[in-house]
Amino acid sequence: MKHFSNGNSLNSIGIIDASPDAPEEGPQALYAADDGGLWLLDQNNGRVLRFDAKNSGAPAQSYELPGDMRPTDLVVRRGSVYVWDGSPQALQPTGLPDAPTRGLARTRSTEPVDDFTLSVFAQMGSQVPESPDRFRRGLRTIWCVPRRSALVNLAAIS
């Protein structure tokens, strides 16, 4: 089990205390990636933390978000970090791979985000406002079951 204190160091997370007008706010997303790492969206500190779930004593690695981003969701897939900031945004890590702090830069790819990544965001409740229950990609539609449902299967309809 990994424990984080409140703050902005590598072993802490940003937590904003509750007020009479607003609830407590902390990290909004946690993603278990194919690389075996757990990725935590620490949006209050403007970063994503990666840590090893099997080694709680290992230090976290920080990936700083672009300054103008205010993401609410996170998917890590195939070496890319995707955040939801009104729509999916693809980011690539910058800096030395073993550095404790790295950057995240927007990719200049003109390819759209793949259907799998879009469906993962949809399962977690992040969807394009014009299409609350599906994503259209060419002639194919992917229907997504809301995460609040007991069902989490996706059905692709051609």
Question: pLDDT, tens digit, for every residue of 6-22?
Answer: 888 777 788 888 788 88
Query: Against a cut of 0.85, is the pTM above it?
Result: no
Rounded to whole angstroms, how far apart are CA atoms 137 and 150?
Answer: 26
The residue with greater pLDDT, 109 or 9, is 9
pLDDT attached to residue 43: 92
pLDDT attached to residue 128: 67
Q: Which of 28-42, 117-131, 135-149 has the lowest mean pLDDT?
A: 135-149
Name the segment(s) of the chain with CATH classification 2.40.10.500: 1-110
Q: What is the pLDDT of residues 57-67, one digit of tens each?
A: 888 899 999 99
Rounded to whole angstroms, how far apart are CA atoms 28 and 125?
Answer: 12
pLDDT attached to residue 46: 94
Mean pLDDT, the chain, as a whole number?
Answer: 78
Q: How far is CA 129 from CA 71, 75, 125, 152, in A?
A: 15, 19, 11, 21
Q: What length is written for the chain? A: 158
**Could you tell me which CATH number the domain at 1-110 has?**
2.40.10.500
The residue with greater pLDDT, 1 or 51, is 51
pLDDT attached to residue 146: 40
pLDDT attached to residue 110: 63
Task: Using the predicted structure, report yes or no on whether residue 50 has a pLDDT greater than 90.
Answer: yes
